Amino acid sequence: MQQPAQPNKIFFGDDGLRAGWSVLLYFFFAVIAGLIVGVIVRHFHLLPKSPPKEMTPRFAAIDKAIEFAVFVIPAILMSLIERRPFSRYGLAAARMIPDFLIGLFWGFAALSALVGALYLTHALVFDGILLHGTATIVFALKWGLAFLLVGLGEEFFTRGYLQYTVARGVAGIARAFDPKNRYSHVIGFWVAAFIFSVCLFMFAHLLNPGENKIGILAVGLSGAVFAFSLYRTGTLWWAIGMHAAWDWAQSYFYGTPDSGLHVVGHLIGTHPIGSTLLSGGPDGPEGSILVIPTLLLAAAVIHFTLPRRPYPLTPDQSGCPISDSTAV
């Protein structure tokens, strides 16, 4: 007669609480956090009942700060429950500043190259400078903070705790089928990346106004690029920097739509002309066919310029140089 599975085997595996239970518990905490934050937001009237037609720095910053809190607080709780350093979820202190600053540089450079290509192909027209004096600095700083929170919120939600936990679960399944599989952690990482960085990231952008098919494809490709930077460096900081700088350059500096969204207080006035396939139309540069080679070049930059630091997927990756003592 077959013996029933022991409770500890149902809930725990070789690397602790099984990934499926971890994800369920994480979402339970996220729902609780969301309800609590929602009460606070309504009580203090922090956000309007409906988003403004043109995005303001205040609305964007508060909205993304809430999103970041709702998903990072449960991750902190899970790190305590699972006895894993919080640094494993992509926000390690090791090389935080240099990775973030390098990401900022390449984010602005990549978006500028895309805008330059649109201008040279006569798909984008510059209308002049719209801000002057102290307003230039004020809006630059406000949008800088807002897009930093955008980068933190979106990167951690799609490539933080969920990415790590599902990746270790899939890697465990791969090892169960083949204990000698040398690539189980690679399989786990990229299966999780496809689910969250590509599919979920694309789905989350479907509600943006003005989004076109190329724009949605670009969102999935950019998610894969950001995941590649995580796989390459072991942290989210490069991706957070590039994400923030890309959006800042697109929305504030060049004044183009970002996934169909316009912002209040942008530096340069621009408008698209000609074929939507080339210009992106109301979607902005991210809806242009030229965004695809731009993102592929960003992937090449990651491969050739970033040092290889293994993603700390499982405890058996003892060669990972990211110290648990540097957790933040």
Reported as a single tens digit per residue, the pLDDT across 171-195 is 989 988 998 888 888 999 999 999 9
Q: Is the dihedral of CA 23, 12, 168, 179 positive or negative?
A: negative
H/E stretch holding 180: none
Question: Residue 52 and residue 192: Cα distance in Å, rounded?
Answer: 34
pLDDT of residue 324: 41
Q: Which amino acid is at 46?
A: L
Closest alpha carbon to 144 in 8, 4, 266: 266
- Asked if pLDDT for residue 134 goes beyond 70, the answer is yes
pLDDT above 70 (res 318)? no
Task: Report the greatest alpha carbon distance in the chain.
Answer: 82
Mean pLDDT of 270-298: 94
Neighbours of 124 (CB within 10 A): 25
pLDDT exceeds 50 at position 268: yes
- For residue 189, count CB atoms less than 10 angstroms from its CB and return exposed for 0-12, middle for 13-18, buried for 19 or more: buried
Residue 66: C-alpha distances to residues 60, 152, 153 (Å): 10, 11, 8
Q: What is the pLDDT of residues 236-261, one digit of tens each?
A: 999 999 999 999 999 999 999 988 78
Round to the nearest angstrom and report the end-to-end CA distance of the chain: 50
pLDDT of residue 321: 39
More confident site: 250 or 54: 250
Percent of the chain with pLDDT over 70: 93
Treating both helix axes as pointing N-terminal to C-terminal, what angle do 161-177 and 134-159 enclose, rounded to 10 degrees?
30
Q: Pick from 231, 74, 60: which is nearest to 151 by CA?
A: 60
State the DSSP string of 51-79. Answer: --SSB-HHHHHHHHHHHHHHHHHHHHHHH
In whole angstroms, give the CA distance from residue 217 to residue 229. 19
Q: What is the rounded CA–CA span in Å between residue 37 and residue 122?
A: 46
C-alpha to C-alpha distance for 102 and 100, rounded to whole angstroms? 6
Quick check: 236 and 148 in contact, CB under 8 A? no
The C-alpha atoms of residue 315 and residue 294 are separated, in whole angstroms, by 36
Give the H or E element holding residue 295. helix 291-305
